[in-house]
Amino acid sequence: MSVSLPAPKHSDLLAISGIKLGIASAGIKTVDRTDLVLIQLAESTTTSVVYTQNVFCAAPVMLAKQHQNEASPRYLLINSGNANAGTGEAGLQAAQDCCSAVAELTNDTKNAVLPFSTGVIGQQLPVDKIKKALPDAFQDLKADNWFDAAHAIMTTDTVAKAISKQVEIDGNTITVTGMAKGSGMIRPDMATMLSYIATDAAVEQLVLDTILHNAVEQSFNRITVDGDTSTNDACVLMATGQAANNTIDDIDSAEAQNLYQVIVQISQQLAQAIVRDGEGATKFIEIQVEQGVDTQECRQVAYTIAHSPLVKTAFFASDPNWGRILAAIGRSKIRDFDLSKVTIYLGDVCIVNGGQPASDYTEQKGQQVMDEDEITIKVELGRGNAKDTVWTCDFSYDYVKINAEYRT
């Protein structure tokens, strides 16, 4: 189940010159489903990556960081079905063995391979299965494999998440294609579960790093399903330099800003797709907090609302129990908070004005909004001019069921 989230079409996903993707079935968790992706990057590619802030980061995260500091990435190896997290030295060795297997297959160095894993935590990675399937992934390398790759990285996702856009830069058509996976254990502290975005533009490293950091802040760092930050989060941005544009080397240039805006759009659509496909989700909720002292406190209020089980279950029940929203705002630990200045809206319906029930609010008006699949909560703090937005979903019976039965 997902909330108004159409599945991507193969024909909608555009190939990126300099990027090839290969898909294979290793049978890591489920037999006869694709669960291994090998991405080949042209030598001209500039790559930027952000990783989870969870201190118990997975073995592939630790190794990817190390390899990224040692060499320019030429291959990304992604497996689903096993997170290779909480696996100690054996897990780190397993990730290294997989990178070595890619290097041997491609006649490259192992530190030019960045490994990524997603799935069950605490189980050792079945290296032999991955090694056996790698030749199939290598033979399958082709530019138009984004559709199949987006499906192969899924775990509890019900819909693959991928999108393409184009923009004119220096009189050239620049293409950007991205894919992501994620459905539960979503409260990113940098990105989402796993996301890969590529462009054929030529971009200098520092500019690419800035674009990725800023795009993530406006997208993947503004979503939550359940408040849990994964051990395996990673977001990769690749610029192959295969287009004919002049290398973008100034973040303040019109060219950089044009590219940035497209990457933000793709990142936000992928991030919102993760929320729309949240485990058991039946409602997509946008939380807008305005009139704050700064964006940090606006975000703090928004996330307190978004993480409240009482708020989320009320939305699942379509119950206009606005007192739960008010209670969440009140415990958001904002200094010198003045409830009498707070106004709250459900959609276009004002439910609280000046910290008390709006004079024209009726249960019927609130119910009409709560019956919708997509709902906006707007909070005006009456403290300043800052604002921020967070996207989340409700908590349903299925969320509990999916996570209770995750390993069975």
User: Which domain CATH number covers 57?
Assistant: 3.60.70.12
What tokens does 343 get? 């106004």
Q: Which residues contact 81 (CB under 8 A, 6 or more apart)?
A: 26, 28, 29, 30, 35, 118, 119, 120, 155
pLDDT of residue 408: 65
Residues contacting residue 291 through CB under 8 Å, at least 6 positions apart:
380, 381, 382, 383, 384, 385, 386, 387
Determine the pLDDT at residue 156: 85
Question: Which residues are tagged catalytic?
Answer: 192
Same domain (yes/no): 305, 257: no
Asked if residue 92 and residue 147 are part of one domain, the reply reads yes
d(CA 247, CA 260): 14
Confidence (pLDDT) at 399: 84
pTM (two decimals): 0.94
- pLDDT tens, the chain, 408 aa long: 689 999 999 999 999 999 999 999 999 998 989 999 999 999 999 999 999 888 888 999 999 999 999 999 999 999 999 999 999 999 999 999 999 999 999 999 999 999 999 998 999 999 999 999 999 999 999 999 999 999 999 988 999 999 999 999 989 999 999 999 988 777 877 655 799 999 999 999 999 999 999 999 999 999 998 877 778 889 999 999 999 899 999 999 999 999 999 999 999 999 999 999 988 899 999 999 999 999 999 999 999 999 999 999 999 999 999 999 999 999 999 999 898 999 999 999 999 999 899 999 999 999 999 999 999 999 999 999 999 999 999 999 988 887 888 776
Is residue 366 within 8 Å of 321, Cβ to Cβ? no
Torsion angles phi and psi, residue 370, rounded to 5? -65, -20
Q: Quick one: 343 and 317 in the same domain?
A: yes
Look up the domain containing 204 and give its range.
10-276
Q: Are 77 and 203 in the same domain?
A: yes
Mark whether 201 and 309 lie in a shared domain: no
Looking at residue 115, what is its pLDDT?
Answer: 98
The structural domain count of the chain equals 2
pLDDT of residue 192: 55
Final residue in a domain of this structure, among 276, 295, 318: 276
27-32-34 Cα angle (round to 5): 70
* Shared domain check, 162 and 204: yes
Same domain, 326 and 181: no
Angle between helices 309-316 and 322-330 (to 10 degrees): 160
Q: Which of residues 276, 309, 331 is at a domain's end?
A: 276
Instruction: Round to whole Å and give the CA distance between 197 and 164.
Output: 9
Q: What are phi and psi of 291, to 5 degrees?
A: 60, 40
Q: pLDDT value at position 231?
A: 80
Q: Please report where in the chains the tokens 């991405």 appear, as a residue.
A: 39
Same domain, 294 and 250: no
Residues 111 and 170 occupy one common structural domain = yes
Q: Is residue 3 assigned to a domain?
A: no
